[in-house]
Chains A and B, each alone.
Chain A
């Protein structure tokens, strides 16, 4: 028998416990968070229960359905376009008034709606009692008590939801908000206008459409212009006339008047269903905040948390990194001896394994970083961080929340760019995305370590710190520049809730960590795989290189030479000569590899673009290494390793770099270039997707790369003039 399927959407305010209820129903991966707007993506869960296939959709937490933030647009579009069979509005019992505000807006759509009165136990201890029966009667919808974090009431909630989906009741008009006479008249006028004059009727509820037109809703206006045909203009004209009339009548914008009237309607309901006794509330969160957002202790504690997070990320991550590293090496060695010699083997052993391996090695760091960020989010500290940082971020013209993506940028730009989704205004989001890549990501760190190790041994720490600092300064300066030019306009209002602190649940932290880790593996993995194949191909071809020396016969010759010496030498000297022989052969092999790279496509490209990099103090080898960094910054070091023709990546590369004619000034210039130039391909792809515009990705590439060139030019040439080397 085919089971009937029902779609149930969960809506509600941020921090109403919506996500916990979703987790309890579906039992699948979803994170519980306190940071406003943590559930940005539409999450679904499929379960079979009571003979039905239930599709549960977790909508982003919102305070209303005005289309100002991306979360609200997502939630609203889902409700309007996909018409779930039942919409469960999760009502935070301790904040009934605000929860009902969203409910009145949901009620204006055509959806079948019911309430889950959540956390009523907490509300009761705080002295709030809610008459659910009365509420159900007044609004004519089912109301179920739930306690999300104790998994109470979930079964009844689902049974009632199925019941509601199967019922054929009409939603009573009188249960919706009734506005004052003038507004109701305007609504009716618009409804009649649409009914009689517009050929293509809006697919949405007529009353809803009329209300939104009166509220001057941008999205609906655009929709009308696009879809309503020739009468669209006239309809908007009519709406505008009515708006002007109402503005005169109420001496305020109609949308404000309507907001107040919705609250008036809610006040009426509250009077009948809510009893509050003035009990003394125990507000633990307030006491915690006395310390965490304290005038003097707030910042030091914040900085300590951030420091601890990075410390933990890198120190605890070092061990699994070693295991992965040896695993990758073992795999490469194993395949090297197992597979027969062929191009395919070359591709796997020299292309794919080192390429992908160099990214996988960062997985422990990324997982730990996300685990820490999940702790910040789930406890509610993230909102406090925004509270503390807003003043500083406001200097760049950004919201305190922008601090989080920028901070994550130090780990990896890909999730950082995605994290900017929590920002309300599109301009803020784009601005944050554009400056986040200047936060030096962890993949760039090995490059700094290698270069500073070779040229600034005693001052390595200071130099690396200065690089990070320059990144931050460039980000701030660029932010101000963009705000004044391409992204003009005020930043979004900073109206943010500081949710109560909650003890994080380990399960949810792990789910959160794994979700993002998976995203990293998937999105980076694919791109990196392709990228490393491209890099390999560019450095492996052409195959028919004309070497300056016949290395194979040279090796044979050297071997023979030493062998005869060994024969002639005494017992004691043989070992020494044997070692000399090995060294000589190794040197030849290295020279061949270097020449091969030099004459490969990659080397040719590097040599042809070398003149561009020459004024920055970067030679053709550096140019090629930087070019490969286009795929992933991790590759820069391994490219340098190959190009400077050394076997080992770490210590020996130091030596080779010192021996090459690179100066400390040139090394600094190269580090600056690495810091500023275009982000890796995975970040670029993410920028494209998150801004939704190819032009922003292009802009990011051109801006960062040209800025890098100019800065490095000034530093290198300026440094040479004032006599630094």
Chain B
């Protein structure tokens, strides 16, 4: 499932990323890696960007960037 398709309150494990290498590097540098658990905290009021919780950090990404990230094991996760 694409990260951009996930709903608020869902979590999953990142399985792959596509997109240009600058974006992929930036995402890794801020601590989002393959195998990392992400939790979709919320979407901004205008539905873009979205806020993720990754290892306790709150990170925001645009929807178009989240669309480059594939997530496995998506489940509703009361956090």
Contacts and interface: CB of A to CB of B under 8 A. Distances in A.
Interface in B12-59: 21-31, 33-34, 41-49, 51, 55-59
Interface residues of B, number: 32
B41 A391 contact: no
A98 B59 contact: no
B59 A293 contact: no
A285 B29 contact: no
Interface string B1-12: 000000000000
Contact of B55 (A95, A383, A499): A95
Interface size on A, as a range, is 35 or more
A497 B57 contact: yes
A280 to B, nearest CB: 10
Given A98-B30, A387-B51, A497-B57, A259 B25 contact: yes
Interface in A95-142: 95, 97-98, 101, 126
A495 B31 contact: no
B67 interface: no
Interface string A369-397: 00000000000000100011011101000
A299 B26 CA distance: 28
Given A256-B21, A263-B28, A391-B49, A293 B62 contact: no
A32 to B, nearest CB: 19
Nearest to B62: A494
A498 B44 contact: no
A495 B22 contact: no
Nearest to A97: B31
Contacts, number: 112
B70 interface: no
Contacts of B31: 95, 97-98, 101
Contacts of A446: none
Interface stretch (A22-30, A60-68, A712-720): A60-68
B73 to A, nearest CB: 18
Contact of B59 (A64, A259, A390, A498): A498
Interface string A483-527: 000000000011111111000000000000000000000000000
Contacts of A496: 59-60
Contact of A97 (B21, B24, B42, B55): B55
A39 interface: no
A493 B23 CA distance: 6
A426 B27 CA distance: 19
A387 B44 contact: yes
B72 interface: no
B61 interface: yes
A260 B45 CA distance: 34
A559 interface: no
Contacts of B34: 260
A530 B28 CA distance: 50
Contact of B29 (A63, A391, A394): A63
Interface string A272-308: 0000000001000110010001111011000000000
Contacts of B43: 295
A565 interface: no
A294 to B, nearest CB: 8
A416 B43 CA distance: 29
A392 B46 contact: yes
A495 B41 contact: no
A105 to B, nearest CB: 10
B33 A263 contact: yes
A260 B55 contact: no
A563 interface: no
Contacts of A293: 42, 44-45, 51
Contacts of A649: none
A579 B26 CA distance: 77
Contacts of A690: none
Contacts of A256: 21, 24-25, 28
B79 to A, nearest CB: 9
Nearest to B8: A295
Given A101-B29, A263-B28, A394-B62, A494 B45 contact: no
Given A97-B55, A493-B22, A299 B45 contact: yes
Nearest to A127: B56
B21 A253 contact: yes
A387 B59 CA distance: 10
Contacts of A392: 46
Nearest to B52: A498
Contacts of A400: 49
B14 to A, nearest CB: 12
Given A98-B30, A98-B31, A101-B29, A494 B60 contact: yes
A281 B56 contact: yes
B62 A390 contact: yes
B30 A387 contact: no
A217 to B, nearest CB: 11
Contacts of A260: 28, 33-34
A495 B23 CA distance: 8
A97 B49 CA distance: 25
Contacts of B61: 494-495
A296 to B, nearest CB: 7
A434 to B, nearest CB: 23
Interface of A: 63-64, 66, 68, 94-95, 97-98, 101, 126, 253, 255-256, 259-260, 263, 281, 285-286, 289, 293-296, 298-299, 383, 387-388, 390-392, 394, 400, 493-500
The 3 residue pairs across chains A and B that have the minimum distance between CB atoms: A391-B46, A498-B58, A98-B31
19 contacts: A68-B26, A95-B31, A97-B55, A98-B30, A255-B21, A263-B33, A289-B41, A296-B45, A387-B51, A388-B44, A390-B60, A493-B22, A493-B26, A494-B49, A494-B62, A495-B23, A496-B59, A497-B30, A497-B57
